[in-house]
Structure 1
Amino acid sequence: MRAGKLDKRLTIVRLTETGRDGANQPIYGWSDVATVWVQARPVRGEERFQAQQLAGTEVMTFHIRYRADLSVKDRVRYKGKEWDITAVREIGRGVVSEFDCQARAE
């Protein structure tokens, strides 16, 4: 992957145990894993009328340098929005991680 195409910043966040409550039950929260350079490509957006409301989705594909620890359980933060990872693919024997994300509803 050419470094010149990686021109934006993205933060990978992961659900981790942040502590224990009074009953010794785990407390979970989203914490930053890494901030990486990324190539962002908008895939599609759509709007539809559903249940008397206008509903929309925004989908993006991101390319970063290969990370073996990236999964669909993670989220990313990009341009002030939280995105759910819906699919992760390895491109070229550990060179690039490509993943699709859908914007979370605000």
Structure 2
Amino acid sequence: MNYRSNNNTGELKHRITFLNPPGKDKDGFPIIDWIDHVTVWAAIKTLKGRAFYEAAADQLQDMKTFGIRYRKDVDDSMRIRHKDKIYKIISMNNDDENNQWWTIHVRETKDGAVDGL
């Protein structure tokens, strides 16, 4: 963990699942559903109070930030499922380029649709 950035492993108390985008299976047949890739522990933060209003609240209304330990096998083409909601990844930042912590900004898809947005 990158303790210099105040990333606390004790805050990793939520389970999120990364979903692979539709594509083709090993035999070349098309897959139309998003498939579970990996489930990890995450910290979740939302904009609150003054920061929410200063950040153009109309555009950031359904945005959240997930923090997870660094993994090589996740990228921004995936979706994230937390409880019954599906989120599109807006950006992924490797904090301080230390390969220790991902900060992932997400937006909830409309109507929980995985292929939305």
TM bracket, shorter-chain basis: 0.7 to 0.9
* 1:8 and 1:37 in contact (8 A); partners too: yes
Query: Is 1:17 the counterpart of 2:23 in the alignment?
Result: yes
Mapped contact 1:11–1:32 kept (Cα < 8 A): yes
Query: Which of the numbers 87, 96, 106 marks the counterpart of 1:101?
Result: 106
Structure 2 CA distance, aligned partners of 1:19 and 1:63?
30
Residue 91 of structure 2 is matched in structure 1 by 87
> Which structure would you say has the larger Rg?
1
Q: Deviations over 1:46-104 (max 9, x none)?
A: 458xxxxxxx8400000001012322210000121000001000014110011100000
Structure 2 stretches lacking a partner, 5+ long = 2-7, 112-117
| TM superposition score normalised by structure 1 | 0.76
Of 53, 61, 66, which aligns to 2:65?
61
- What letter matches 1:103 in structure 2? E
TM-score (norm 2): 0.69
Please tell me whether the aligned partners of residues 11 and 34 of structure 1 are also in contact (alpha carbons under 8 angstroms). yes
1:4 counterpart SS class:
helix
CA RMSD for the aligned pairs? 2.5
Question: How far apart are the structure 2 equivalents of 1:6 and 1:35?
Answer: 12
Q: 1:78 aligns with which of 76, 82, 102?
A: 82
Q: Which runs of 5+ in 1 are unaligned?
A: 49-55
Q: Among the aligned pairs, what percent are the same residue?
A: 25
Cα separation, 2, equivalents of 1:77 and 1:14:
11
CA contact (8 A) 1:18 1:29 kept: no
